[in-house]
């Protein structure tokens, strides 16, 4: 395997620069932000950024743009990158206003890779490995520290009693404990009420700094209830103080779960479901740095209709996804008719990518029960749906196949497309192949032909079946291969649970 990873690295060494930043990047006026320009290709590479607005600097050595923009507006920056194999140039627009995450956030989460055993050293090691494998060069930019990084109260603590006495069957209130995490028992907050990291995150400020130095952003996790799902301290009653703490430590992203808040929600009304998110959303907006807000309440009350009103940029649309076909298929199929709720800054989140070595909670995070074709389908469907992309894999166990799924810039570009539209399930063919289509910024259509059946499907895909009545250039995105110029149909051979991911471009008359 090492040999194959080396081959991958060698191939990269011969590439000319390719700038993978999306067209637009949103920042809030007056807030601190930073952005590491994702560019793949052989190193050394000289990267220049020109036409930077007032208040923004470019660190040439690190390839990082950072600062703060006072005036609302669109600032078009020219990026050039050159190495011994060639030169690339791209315009990149910083949109300063009140919107973040104009394209779906991309990163890695500790949840399926290390699960509850995650420690700060694992997070730092992952950042170093992501850098080593060049994942940052494709836009994988946030490392999210998931549950549990705070302390668990003693089992005599009244909070357990309170929660258990207040069981409210109508509103999801799940939490674990009181004795599930013996190595995380401790004091929840200091004398001033500030959250205390548990013994495995003692140097959290330093760790965040080191990860920032590598050019990555850092995400953190909390719950609006007094306890998180794992049963450690959440933010209930300390929302503003926690938002201030998150900003002080330097976090760039917050995943805010629901666990244990259910006992406080009076009912399932939209108002009650929105309440805790609005509180934290407003608290985050007050902070001096941009912090992306990710809602994690499993789709309750059709969150896709109102998540943005709380200040959120992304919201989980269902339960935790697992590495089996039924689970991933259900997660994306649920979004077949929800594209109208997606636009730049508003993303439906079907959960963390089940690609590579996942399953930390049950299997030490070093295997995957999905076939390779199924994992390719997961990546393709998440990109078609404009879903946030968070790597679930333990990067220590990454293999060349996983790396190939995570470093195809034509596939990732479908996810990061500036138009910000999500695919719809346009039609299901007679052979049960599903046709998912997504409009792209440059006028192309991205199409996923998904074989959800258990047998291979051979057929001719007629473009007219989706109302594409012209002649088209077709391109296979996974294989980066042109399929023909004046096409009206395409012969397809798709393995069970596999996908053909193509784009169609209309021929100019």
Q: Considering the complex, state which of residue 134 and residue 350 has its C-beta at the smaller distance from ligand GLA.
A: 350
**Listed residue (498, 253, 476) closest to 371, CA to CA:** 498
Is residue 111 near ligand GLA by the rule CB under 6 A?
A: yes
* Cβ–Cβ < 8 Å for 90, 79: yes
Q: How far is the CB of 174 from ligand GLA (least distance, A)?
A: 8
Q: Which is nearer to ligand GLA, 221 or 472 (CB)?
A: 221
- Find the shortest distance in angstroms from Cβ 354 to ligand GLA: 12
* One character per residue 452-471, x = contact with ligand GLA (rule: CB under 6 A): --------------------
* Measured distance CA(17)–CA(95) in Å, rounded: 25
# residues contacting ligand GLA (CB under 6 A): 10
**Binding to ligand GLA by residue 147, rule CB under 6 A?**
yes
Minimum Å distance from CB 32 to ligand GLA? 27
Q: Should residue 157 be labelled a site residue for ligand GLA when binding is judged by CB under 6 A?
A: no
Q: How many helices (H) and strands (E) does the chain have?
A: 11, 25
The helix/strand/coil state of 189 is strand
Toward ligand GLA, which CB reaches closer, 298 or 459?
A: 298
3-state SS class at 509: coil
Provide φ and ψ at 413, rounded to 5°: -60, -25
Min dist. Cβ of residue 271 to ligand GLA (A): 23
Tell me how far, at minimum, the Cβ of 230 lies from ligand GLA, in Å.
4
Specify the stretch interacting with ligand GLA by CB under 6 A; choose among 126-134, 183-191, 226-234, 481-489: 226-234
Half-sphere exposure (CA, 13 Å, Cβ side) for 501?
27
| Binding of ligand GLA by 387 (CB under 6 A) | no
CA-wise closest residue to 435 among 420, 418, 416, 452: 452
Nearest-angstrom CA–CA distance, 123 and 139: 18
The residue among 398, 387, 207 whose CA lies nearest residue 313 is 387
Query: What DSSP line would sit under 96-110, residue for residue?
Result: EES---SS--EEEES
Minimum gap (Å) between residue 221 Cβ and ligand GLA: 6
For the bound state, the minimum distance from the C-beta of residue 109 to ligand GLA, rounded and expressed in Å, comes to: 8
Q: Binding ligand GLA by CB under 6 A: which of 48, 98, 154, 320?
A: 320
Among 445, 439, 434, residue whose Cα is nearest residue 422: 439
Nearer to ligand GLA, 230 or 312 (CB): 230
Residue closer to ligand GLA, measured from CB, 273 or 490: 273
Pairing relationship of beta strands 64-67 and 33-36 according to DSSP bridges = antiparallel
Alpha-carbon 327 to chain mean position: 18
CB of 296 to ligand GLA, least distance (A): 5
122 binding ligand GLA? (CB under 6 A): no
Stretch touching ligand GLA by CB under 6 A, among 223-231, 274-282, 364-372, 407-415 = 223-231
| C-beta of residue 389 within 8 angstroms of C-beta of residue 110 | no
- Cβ proximity to ligand GLA: between 147 and 415 the closer is 147
Backbone φ and ψ of 7, nearest 5°: -60, -40
Out of 146, 252, 323, 374, name the contact with ligand GLA by CB under 6 A.
146
The residue among 399, 421, 411, 388 whose CA lies nearest residue 355 is: 399
In order of 34, 109, 199, the CA distances from 231 in angstroms are 33, 19, 15
Q: Which of 233, 296, 499, 500 binds ligand GLA (CB under 6 A)?
A: 296
Rule CB under 6 A: say whether 246 interacts with ligand GLA: no
Give me the phi and psi of 501, to 5 degrees please.
Answer: -110, 115
Chosen residue from 257, 374, 415, 417 binding ligand GLA by CB under 6 A? 257
Q: Is the distance from CB of 261 to CB of 276 less than 8 angstroms?
A: yes
From the CB of 228, what's the least distance to ligand GLA, in Å? Answer: 6
| 230 is an interface residue for ligand GLA by CB under 6 A | yes
Is residue 229 at the binding interface for ligand GLA, with CB under 6 A as the rule? yes
CB 5 to ligand GLA: min, Å = 29
Decide whether 75 or 114 has the Cβ nearer to ligand GLA: 114
203-222 binders of ligand GLA (CB under 6 A): 221
Residue 228: DSSP 8-state: -
Which positions ≥6 away from 217 have C-beta within 8 Å?
Answer: 34, 107, 141, 142, 143, 211, 252, 253
Cβ contact 215:36 at 8 Å: yes
**295 counts as binding ligand GLA under rule CB under 6 A:** no
Sole window of 197-205, 228-236, 276-284, 286-294 interacting with ligand GLA (rule: CB under 6 A) = 228-236
In terms of CB distance, is 140 or 258 closer to ligand GLA? Answer: 258
Distance of closest approach, residue 319 Cβ to ligand GLA, in angstroms: 7
Chain contacts with ligand GLA (rule: CB under 6 A): 111, 146-147, 221, 228-230, 257, 296, 320
């Amino acid at each position: 395997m090492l040999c194959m990873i080396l081959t991958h690295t060698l191939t990269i060494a011969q590439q000319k620069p390719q700038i993978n930043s999306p067209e637009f990047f949103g920042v809030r006026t007056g807030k601190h932000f930073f952005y590491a320009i994702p560019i793949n290709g052989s190193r050394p590479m000289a990267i220049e950024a020109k036409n930077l607005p007032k208040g923004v600097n470019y660190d040439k050595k690190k390839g990082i743009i950072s600062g703060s923009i006072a005036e609302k507006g669109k600032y078009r920056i020219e990026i050039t990158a050159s190495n011994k194999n060639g030169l690339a140039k791209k315009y990149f627009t910083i949109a300063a206003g009140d919107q973040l995450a104009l394209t779906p956030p991309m990163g890695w989460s500790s949840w399926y890779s290390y699960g509850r055993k995650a420690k700060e050293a694992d997070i730092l090691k992952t950042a170093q490995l992501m850098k080593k494998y060049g994942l940052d060069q494709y836009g994988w930019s946030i490392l999210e520290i998931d549950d549990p990084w705070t302390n668990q109260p003693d089992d005599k603590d009244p909070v357990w009693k309170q929660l258990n006495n207040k069981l409210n069957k109508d509103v999801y209130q799940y939490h674990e404990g009181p004795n599930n995490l013996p190595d995380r028992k401790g004091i929840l907050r200091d004398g001033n009420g500030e959250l205390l990291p548990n013994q495995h995150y003692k140097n959290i400020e330093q760790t965040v700094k080191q990860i920032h130095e590598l050019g990555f952003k850092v995400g953190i996790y909390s719950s609006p209830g007094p306890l998180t799902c794992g049963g450690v301290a959440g933010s209930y009653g300390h929302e503003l103080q926690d938002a201030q703490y998150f900003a002080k430590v330097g976090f760039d992203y917050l995943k805010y779960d629901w666990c244990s808040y259910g006992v406080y929600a009076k009912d399932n009304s939209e108002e009650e479901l929105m309440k805790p998110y609005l509180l934290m959303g407003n608290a985050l907006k007050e902070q001096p740095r941009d912090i992306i807000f990710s809602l994690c309440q499993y789709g309750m009350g059709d969150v896709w209709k109102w998540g943005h009103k709380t200040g959120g940029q992304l919201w989980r649309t269902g339960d935790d996804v697992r590495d089996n076909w039924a689970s991933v298929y259900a997660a994306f199929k649920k979004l077949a008719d929800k594209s109208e709720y997606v636009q730049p800054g508003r993303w439906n989140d079907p959960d963390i990518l089940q690609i590579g070595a996942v399953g930390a909670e049950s299997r030490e995070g070093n295997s995957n029960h999905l076939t390779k074709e199924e994992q390719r389908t997961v990546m393709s469907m998440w990109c078609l749906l404009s879903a946030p992309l968070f790597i679930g894999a333990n990067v220590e166990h990454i293999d060349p196949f996983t790396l190939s799924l995570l470093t195809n810039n034509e596939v990732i570009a479908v996810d990061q497309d500036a138009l910000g539209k999500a695919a719809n399930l346009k039609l299901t063919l007679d052979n049960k192949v599903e046709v998912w289509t997504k409009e792209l910024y440059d006028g192309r259509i991205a199409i996923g032909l998904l074989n959800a059946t258990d047998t291979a499907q051979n057929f001719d895909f007629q473009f007219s079946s989706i109302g594409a009545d012209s002649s088209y250039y077709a391109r296979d995105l996974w294989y980066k291969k042109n399929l023909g110029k004046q096409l009206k149909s395409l012969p397809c051979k798709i393995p069970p649970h596999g996908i053909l991911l193509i784009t169609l471009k209309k021929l100019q008359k």
